[in-house]
Each structure stands twice: as C-alpha cells, then as structure tokens.
Amino acid sequence: AQSVTQLDSHVSVSEGTPVLLRCNYSSSYSPSLFWYVQHPNKGLQLLLKYTSAATLVKGINGFEAEFKKSETSFHLTKPSAHMSDAAEYFCVVSDLGIAGTASKLTFGTGTRLQVTL
C-alpha cells in the first residue's frame, strides 16, 4: 500500500525567507507524487506533480520539489515566502491509473504554513 508522511504539522516562516515542507513517501512501485495547496474555504489546487520525468519539478507561484528515490522524499521548497503562501499544504501519492484500476490519491495529513511579517 502506498502512503505519505508529512513530517511537520505546522511550519512558521518570516516573509522573504525560504520555505521547506517535508514529505516522505512509501510505494511499492515508481509513484506519481503531487503537492496540493488548500487556502481557507477554498478547494484544493495543484502546485506541482512528479511523474517519473525530471526529478526536480517546478510548480506554480515559485514552488518546486525534488524527488529523491534513495531517501523516499519529495520535499517542497520556495526560496522566498510571501504572505499569500499561508495555507494548508498536502503531499499526495497516486497510482498511475492503469486501465481497469482507480487512480486513487492518498493524502498526507497536511502541513499548515504560517507566514509572518
């Protein structure tokens, strides 16, 4: 069974400083990995995805993540935090939606990012 572990339930950074949100995954095969963001009272928005191409994935709003198979990690980073980045972030693993099977997403428990002045 596949799973993800988000190592921090809450991260607080100052505006303009780097962001690091940590995620480890477990999967019996090469996974598809995603980061989603959820702002208060809003739906989930895809930040970026890894699907076995380049290991360094660039997403929207300056976020990027690096897939490290040896460490089973997929950490999310941003060089400089902005107040608008304050939200809940979810690391997600998925199967590839092979014909005849459901492409189920398995979410981590989330990391709340707080950005202070």
Judged by the rule CB under 8 A, the positions of this chain that interact with other proteins are 32, 34, 36, 42-46, 49, 51, 90, 94-97, 99, 101-110
Number of C-beta neighbours around residue 62 at 10 A: 14
- Beta carbon nearer to other proteins, 72 or 106: 106
Q: Which residue matches tokens 């400089």?
A: 80
The tokens describing 43, both together, are 């739906």
Instruction: Count each helix (H run) and each strand (E run) in the chain, helices first.
Output: 0, 12
Closest approach of other proteins to the CB of residue 111, in Å: 10
**Residue pair 36/92 in contact by the 8 Å Cβ criterion:** yes
- Beta carbon nearer to other proteins, 55 or 103: 103
- Beta carbon nearer to other proteins, 36 or 85: 36
Closest approach of other proteins to the CB of residue 80, in Å: 27
Closest approach of other proteins to the CB of residue 101, in Å: 7
Number of C-beta neighbours around residue 24 at 10 A: 17
Closest approach of other proteins to the CB of residue 68, in Å: 20
**Residue pair 89/21 in contact by the 8 Å Cβ criterion:** yes
- Beta carbon nearer to other proteins, 2 or 72: 2
